[in-house]
Structure 1
Amino acid sequence: MSTEAQGLPIIDRFALAPSTLRALVRRSEVWLAVLGCVAGMCAGVLVVWMSLITQWLHEVLFGISSSQRLSAVDSLPTSWFMFMPTLGGLLLVAVTSVHRRYRTGSPVDPIEANALRGGKMSFVDSAYIAVQTMISNGFGASVGLEAGYTQIGASAASKLGEAFRLRRNDLRILVGCGAAGAIGAAFNAPLAGAFYAFELIIGTYTLASLAPIGLASICGVVTAQLLLPPGHMVEMATSLASSVDLGRTAIVNLVVLGLISAGAGIVIMRGVTGVESLFKASRIPSWLRPALGGLAIGGLAMLTPRILASGHGAITIILQDNLPELQAILFLLVLKAIAAAISLGSGFRGGLFFASLFLGALLGKAYTALLVLIAPELAPDPQIAAVIAMTGLAVAIVGGPLTMTLLALEMTNNLPLTIGVLCTAVVSSLTVRRTFGYSFATWRFHLRGEAIRSALDIGWMFDLTVRRLMRHDVRTVPDSMPVAQFRQEFPLGSTQRVVAVDGEGRYSGIVLVADAHSETLAGADEASAAAKPIASILRYKDAALLPWMNIKEAAQRFDETESEALAVIDGNTTRKVVGLLTEAHTLRRYTEELEKARRNLAGDT
């Protein structure tokens, strides 16, 4: 056994790749791209596996055929099927209780992992999220599978990267590879998968990440096509024969659709958290909430099964050329939004990716139907409006304007339409950023108290703590020591500052050697000044650092106290001195890390 593996736990020793392979991947971008391909293929396999299991659950639980989609059926055969989401809620609670019994802490999603943890994820916790998502969707809850796809795909890639001991930035890229392969495989859209990773999982685009991310997305798509039967592929493609006229009326429609999509996205995101707050305020036991939410979803499904699951079958129907009545469109739009809010707010696991596409298509059709009634000459093509609003609402909720624009391009193969989609996506994204400030994922982080606005790496800042930066060899003196004795022990030039403690060893303040050697102290003559204790000349008595502070908090404390150095104490109660940290060293390390982060963003090697 190699020396480097001897100190590792047994489970990790077997997880390590051979040292020769690890060296190749760490040295060459080409081999990192190869590893990205492997991550993309793994994600594709996992997506196929999850898709087939949930479709099988739909067939068994709701009595549909293998060629049908749950949300495409016209009605449920019997009223007993309305209780399936309730059973799913109870099963979800059972799975959750088993997980909490053996695992501690909350699972980390790819965005949080890349922002705070350098790309490190738990595969066991991610598999648990995937199982929760399959139960939720499989039993009819109005949630999509995409959150589970990206979770398990990114986690598999993370574990692959840890086996090769990748550097922090390379591991973050590989997590993006797993997510890109998953989204590419789910939608048969390699461009959308790649930019999903760039915009949402990594937080930036660099030349260094282009090859592994792009290849991972392509490998995910190819793997899914080889393994998934044609009848189970996600098909949303539309045959748009007409082009988008970018005249004055069309531009107005694009902007209005962008603003409406942004407003609807904010309402839906707040609606989910509102339902969650209502459940908490109702004092209903947490184990009962998914069952009650499932019962409400089952009741809505008796009105229309279109609201069940993610809506793959229903969106295919909605994107057809025909224009339903405005009342029917609004009815389905409201019911689907309510069902999605109840599903997530009551505790079902899933995401709003596909729900936002479905709701956006309904929103576009509703917009066209309304204009047909009040100003027919201004009404856009209903199919074009559906695709444009679908993208606008997805951008508002999920984020990623380029991701959704490229998804529309790969769905429709219509480049002129993509130009209009991009216009609406920009308006929607800008409006949400200025008025709300969050996507659905970052909004949930905000509610949990996490300061995450994107997947940009800020974890280094939290990892770089005062404990790691401080000097441990700190000499202390009692604050009762006379100034004369202090001058003898610390002549000018020996050091700049000394930490003083009281009789019980608690921090008292800092003595500047130059202050102790000044001719007079507070107007006293030399003899009386030398007889005074150093407690009379202490500085920064109430200012100190704590070991667990991060480097940003330390820099802020230096600014507040206007000090060049501060003592580090072990807590506010004991106040024992454990180290000393200077502002110069803090700012130097802060600058070095910022420069490293800048090089990573720029793709410099």
Structure 2
Amino acid sequence: GAPLAGAFYAFEIVIGAYTPAALAPVAVAALAGAFVADQAGIEAYLLPAASTIDVRAADYAIYGLLGCCCAMVGIAVMRLIASIEGTVKRSPLPLWGRPVVGGLLLIPLALASPQVLSSGHGALHLDLTTHLPLIWIGGLLTLKCLASGISLGFGFRGGLFFASLFMGTLVGALFAGLLAMATGVPVIDATSAALAGMAALAAAVVGAPMTMAMLVLEGTHDFLLTSVVMSAVLVSSTLVRQWFGYSFSTWRMHLRGETIKSARDVGWVQNLNAGRLMRKGVATAPAGLDAAAFRQRFPLGSGSRVVLIDGEGHYAGIVQIPRVYGDGVKPETAIGELAENRDVSLSPAADVVSVMQRFDQTQADELAVVTADGQVLGVVSEAFVRKRYAEELDKRQRELMGERVEDTD
């Protein structure tokens, strides 16, 4: 029952940008889905909200502080999951045994409160409509964070979308209660704070601030509440981006060795790798060849560089042809002594970003592409890599604006 939230989710998470080309199809899809559900008699889920809410100028700062708290909780949860997952991977547990152990660890948490296993709207609705003691809310939040970490860390499938919504309501309610305890009077409405916390923590974890703001708007039909929710969401999203740099989905990709930070970077960055950028059929020579024999084989003007191969056929560096003709090079000198980047090479699967980083580190003009067993596949030049990267950036930008772009590969 939230077509605007669904549309913004598509823009922020799936497509990765707000684009004129995607506006019409995404809007039609979202509205069609809501229309079909309505015609089928399915009632939209409405979030419980305060009957009246009075927003003052100071409330925006208070809800911004709530957004800051949600950002810190979101970062802590993401790091907790990464820590548990890393520990499990280093353990001797077999793959089939990891979910078994994770399930056993979840049993005492579920016995303390079944809400830690929540996967529906029941627990969320219950906590939004029932004013629970602060110590219970804090304990439930701790148990839910731990349960989420165990579930994902021990290999259960799924993510943190609903879990972040649920934990956000607990953070918001806890924030409102502690604020009232500190000042002696209720400063903000507990239900409104819970909804703002729900949106802010979900924005911190999922990385979709406008989606969460629209979710609250369509779930409560309260524009005034949405204004302060927007304050919490923007603060939370901005702080996570500055302090952590990733949403949960891109953080998980980062842990798997990816270098992307948003949805729109994933595909083409990985496809544009060293194997596709290299020039094949490069000139090679034995590393033990002396300078005199090298000069006979490769006269000046025949090329710019030669890839050297050792006695076992493995990569042994790159030598610049003009350097062999230098005044200080004796005829009996082994050209292997003149080689550059003997221990530096590229994997054919290395993406374009890591290739450019390697060029920055080595200050080389060309690098060899080598297999895992040391066999030379080709050579990549820095100028060509940066040219192709710039072309791809321009291509993606034009695609986002709705232009038809033909593949140059």
- Alignment TM class, shorter chain as reference: 0.7 to 0.9
Choose from 87, 105, 108 the match for 1:296: 108
State the alpha-carbon separation in 1 of the partners of residues 287 and 152 from structure 2: 59
Whether 2:12 is the aligned partner of 1:199: answer: yes
Q: Does 1:349 align with 2:161?
A: no
Alpha-carbon distance in 2 for matches of 1:576, 1:340? 45
Whether 2:57 is the aligned partner of 1:247: answer: yes
Please report how far the alpha carbon of residue 312 of structure 1 lies from its aligned counterpart in structure 2 after TM superposition.
0.8
Cα offset, 1:394, TM superposition? 1.7
How far apart are 1:383 and its partner, in Å?
A: 2.5
Structure 2 residue runs without a partner (length 5+): 405-409
Q: Give 3-state SS (helix, strand or coil) of 2:264's partner.
A: coil
Instruction: Report the alpha carbon displacement of residue 367 of structure 1 after superposing the two structures with TM.
Output: 3.2
In structure 2, distance between residues paired with 1:313 and 1:553: 46
Contact map agreement 2:11 2:18 (CA 8 A) in 1 = yes
* Aligned-residue offset at 1:593: 2.0
Q: 1:590 aligns with which of 386, 389, 395?
A: 389
How far has the Cα of 1:235 moved from its partner?
1.9
Aligned residues: percent identity?
41
Q: Which amino acid aligns with 1:236?
A: L
Q: Distance in 2 between matches of 1:332 and 1:293?
A: 16
Question: Equivalent residue for 1:147?
Answer: none
CA distance in 1, matches of 2:294, 2:70: 71
Rounded Cα–Cα distance in structure 1 between residues aligned with 2:120 and 2:295:
80
Change (3 A) 1:345 1:234: farther
Q: State the Cα distance separating 1:386 from its structure 2 match.
A: 2.2
More displaced stretch, 275-284 vs 207-216 = 275-284
Structure 1's 556 and 191: CA in aligned 2 closer, same or farther, altered over 3 A?
same
Quote the Cα distance in structure 1 between the aligned partners of 2:181 and 2:346.
Answer: 66
1:237 is matched with 47
**Matched letter for residue 238 of structure 1:** P
Shift of 1:384: 1.9
- Residue number in structure 1 paired with 2:119: 310
Judging changes above 3 Å, is the alpha-carbon distance between structure 1 residues 481 and 328 closer, same or farther for their aligned structure 2 residues?
closer
Please say if 1:382 is aligned against 2:190.
yes
Distance change in 2, residues 1:566/1:452 (3 Å):
closer
Q: Contact 1:297 / 1:342 at 8 angstroms: preserved in 2?
A: no
Residue 521 (structure 1) aligned with residue 328 (structure 2): yes
Q: Distance in 1 between matches of 2:353 and 2:135?
A: 54
Cross-structure match for 1:177: none
Preserved contact between residue 544 and residue 568 of structure 1 (Cα < 8 Å) = no
Change (3 A) 1:539 1:190: same
Q: Deviations over 1:384-407 (max 9, x none)?
A: 222222212222222211111111
* C-alpha distance in structure 2 between counterparts of 1:474 and 1:356, whole Å: 53
Superposition deviation, residue 265 in structure 1: 2.7
Report matched runs for 1:135-214 at 5 Å: 188-214=1-27
Aligned ranges 1:323-338 → 2 under 5 Å: 323-330=131-138, 332-338=140-146
Deviations 1:397-438 (A, max 9, x none): 222111111111111111121111110111222233333333
Contact kept in structure 1, 2:291 and 2:335, CA below 8 Å: no
Letter of the structure 2 residue corresponding to residue 428 of structure 1: S
Give the 5 Å matches for 1:211-290.
211-227=24-40, 230=42, 233=43, 235-238=45-48, 240-248=50-58, 250-273=59-82, 285-286=97-98, 288-290=100-102
Change (3 A) 1:189 1:474: same
Who is 1:109 aligned against? none
Q: How many residues align?
A: 400
Determine the structure 1 residue equivalent to 2:232: 424
Per the alignment, residue 407 of structure 2 pairs with none
Task: Specify the code of the residue in structure 2 equivalent to 1:352.
Answer: L
Q: Would you say the 8 A contact 1:323–1:369 is kept in 2?
A: no
Q: What CA distance in whole angstroms lies between the structure 1 residues aligned with 2:37 and 2:186?
A: 42
Deviation string for 1:419-462 (max 9, x for gaps)? 11110111222233333333333343344444343213243333
In the alignment, the residues of structure 1 paired with residue 286 and residue 133 of structure 2 have an alpha-carbon distance, to the nearest angstrom, of 85
Which range moves more in the overlay, 213-222 or 331-340? 331-340
The counterpart of 1:404, out of the listed 187, 199, 212, is: 212
Match of 1:589, SS state, is: helix
Which amino acid counterpart does residue 579 of structure 1 have in structure 2? G
In 2 relative to 1, CA 395–585 (structure 1 residues): closer, same or farther, beyond 3 Å?
A: closer
Letter matched to residue 261 of structure 1: C
Q: Secondary structure at the match of 1:580?
A: strand
1:490 Cα deviation from its structure 2 partner? 4.5
Q: CA deviation at 1:189?
A: 0.7
CA 1:561/1:218 → structure 2, altered by over 3 Å: closer, same or farther? same
**What whole-Å deviation, never above 9, does each CA across 1:286-327 have from its counterpart, x for those lacking one?**
2532441453254124xxx5444324123333334x644445
Aligned pairs for 1:117-132 within 5 A: none
CA contact (8 A) 2:49 2:192 kept: no
Q: Which has the higher helix share?
A: 1
Q: For 2:49 and 2:362, locate their aligned partners in 1 and report how far apart those are by CA, in whole Å.
A: 66
Contact 1:388–1:420 (Cα < 8 Å) also in 2: yes
- 1:21-32 equivalences in 2 (<5 Å): none
Cα root mean square deviation, aligned: 3.6
Task: Please give the alpha-carbon distance, in whole angstroms, between the structure 1 residues aligned to 2:286 and 2:88.
Answer: 58
Q: Give unpaired runs (5+ residues) of structure 1.
A: 1-187, 523-528
Distance (Å, rounded) in 1 between the aligned partners of 2:116 and 2:289: 78
Shift of residue 592 of structure 1?
A: 1.8
C-alpha distance in structure 1 between counterparts of 2:209 and 2:347, whole Å? 41
What is the TM-score with the length of structure 1 in the denominator?
Answer: 0.57
Q: Distance in 1 between matches of 2:334 and 2:63?
A: 73
Paired AA for residue 433 in structure 1: R
The alpha-carbon distance between structure 1 residues 554 and 343, as it changes in their structure 2 partners (threshold 3 A), is: closer
Q: 1:265 touches 1:393 (CA, 8 Å); kept in 2?
A: yes
The one-letter code matched in structure 1 to 2:276 is R
Letter in 2 for 1:390: M
| CA shift in 2, pair 1:421/1:517, >3 Å | same
